[in-house]
């Protein structure tokens, strides 16, 4: 059996679940903050396998979903004013205040989809007479890829609309919402590959919150839940690492240094969640010439994050599940999404819709 399949071995899963059942005495609610974790949990039906007194909720772990309408509006404004927007595929369907980048494309805007920021650089080099802006989104996992391209001196006709966000401040926001009653965090594996374990230390120290970094195979998530229960049973709260094959204590220091060189940490708006302190990135002075907002003097006066009725802001903090939203699978579907959570493959609504969930799964 290859290693990948071993991490999906039903025999081991059964053993972990049996242990979980014997460990879980009261009701416990754990929160993950990663769209890929939601996919693993939903796709493999992990919620149905866990005992009834264990709930796993999804936090704001989808970078496309939390991208505020104002920042989509900025890209649309640029696209309709002669600049070519380059970005990742999911982003072009995300609703701005009035429309999406896809609709801007239909209105004549030049919008290109790429798999990697390297492709944005290639396209800009290939078409030197055009102006390009890369709409750079993503959490800590993706940030170093932007920073590397900046340090590599991209062509003059390419600037960046930086919409990166940081995960630990969003986790802290959740702990401030008292009635969520979270008992532990399943921390995101690939964000942690970059940042390591230290940035999560605040959760056990200041909030006495057990935190386990987990990988993305079904057994990774199940074992992380087992580790959280074990901490609770032992009366402990600490940061543990289940995903040792891809996460080290210190993380990717080279990547951290590159990011630190290019960006400074600033406050940032999250769709429907408001302004979170020290949760976004902005160019340091030496690199401001790559800032599209500065180059084109982009100014968006007002914006609207949510359509009337849309519950994305509550779904993104795990307060409700998609099936509790009045728009879910009625007027908001994967084919015609109204809220950001239905757009991205990592959005909770889209993941649930793709797996045909019409009732709450427990």
Place of tokens 């693993």: 40
In angstroms, what is the minimal distance from the CB of 190 to other proteins? Answer: 4
Residue 218 C-beta: closest distance to other proteins, Å: 13
Is residue 114 exposed (0-12), middle (13-18) or buried (19+ Cβ within 10 Å)? middle
CA pair distance 122, 313, nearest whole angstrom: 36
Interface residues with other proteins (CB under 8 A) are 3, 6-7, 12, 15-16, 19, 34-36, 62-64, 88, 90, 115-119, 137-139, 141-142, 144-145, 148, 152, 188, 190-191, 193-194, 219, 223, 242, 244-246, 252, 254-255, 258, 344, 346
- In the complex, the smallest distance separating the C-beta of residue 244 from other proteins, rounded to whole angstroms, is 4
Q: Report CA dihedral (316, 318, 321, 322) to the nearest 10 degrees.
A: 10
Instruction: Give the residue with the Cβ less far from other proteins, 79 or 187.
Output: 187
Q: How far is the CB of 64 from other proteins (least distance, A)?
A: 6
When the beta carbons of 42 and 141 are compared against other proteins, the nearer one is: 141
The answer to whether 303 and 74 have CB atoms below 8 angstroms apart is no
Q: Around 140, how many Cα atoms within 13 Å sit in the side-chain half-sphere? A: 28
User: What tokens appear for 138 in the block?
Assistant: 């993503």
Helix (H), strand (E), coil (C) string for 284-334: CHHHHHHEHHHHCCCCCCCCCCCCCCCCHHHHCCCCCCHHHCCCECCCECC
CB of 179 to other proteins, least distance (A): 28
Which CB sits closer to other proteins, 171 or 298? Answer: 171
Nearer to other proteins among residue 88 and residue 296 (C-beta)? 88
Closer by beta carbon to other proteins, 85 or else 94: 94
């Amino acid at each position: 059996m290859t290693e990948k399949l071993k991490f999906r071995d039903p025999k081991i899963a059964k053993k972990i679940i049996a242990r979980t059942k014997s460990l879980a005495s009261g009701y416990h609610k754990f929160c993950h903050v990663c769209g890929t974790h939601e996919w693993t949990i939903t796709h493999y039906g992990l919620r149905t396998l866990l005992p009834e007194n264990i709930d796993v909720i999804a936090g704001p772990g989808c970078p496309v979903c939390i991208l505020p309408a104002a920042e989509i509006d900025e890209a649309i404004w640029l696209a309709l004013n002669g600049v070519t927007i380059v970005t990742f595929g999911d982003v072009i369907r995300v609703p701005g205040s009035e429309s999406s980048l896809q609709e801007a494309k239909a209105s004549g805007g030049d919008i290109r989809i790429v798999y990697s920021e390297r492709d944005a650089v290639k396209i800009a080099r290939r078409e030197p007479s055009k102006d390009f802006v890369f709409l750079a989104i993503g959490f800590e996992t993706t940030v170093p890829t932007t920073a590397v391209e900046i340090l590599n001196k991209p062509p003059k006709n390419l600037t960046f609309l930086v919409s990166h966000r940081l995960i630990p401040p969003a986790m802290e926001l959740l702990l401030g919402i008292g009635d969520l009653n979270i008992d532990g965090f399943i921390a995101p594996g690939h964000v942690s590959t970059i940042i390591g374990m230290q940035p999560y230390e605040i959760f056990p120290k200041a909030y006495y919150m057990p935190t386990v970094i987990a990988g993305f195979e079904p057994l990774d998530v199940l074992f992380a839940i087992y580790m959280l229960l074990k901490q609770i049973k032992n009366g402990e709260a600490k940061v543990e690492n289940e995903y040792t094959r891809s996460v080290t204590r210190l993380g990717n220091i080279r990547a951290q240094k590159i990011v630190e060189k290019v960006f400074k940490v600033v406050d940032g708006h999250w769709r429907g969640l408001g302004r979170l302190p020290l949760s976004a990135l902005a160019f340091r002075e030496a690199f401001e010439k790559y800032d599209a907002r500065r180059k084109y003097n982009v100014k968006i006066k007002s914006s609207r994050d949510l359509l009337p009725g849309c519950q994305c802001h509550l779904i993104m903090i795990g307060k409700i599940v998609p099936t509790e939203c009045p728009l879910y699978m009625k007027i908001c579907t994967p084919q015609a999404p109204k809220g950001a959570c239905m757009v991205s493959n990592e959005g909770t609504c889209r993941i649930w819709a793709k797996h045909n969930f019409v009732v709450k799964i427990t």
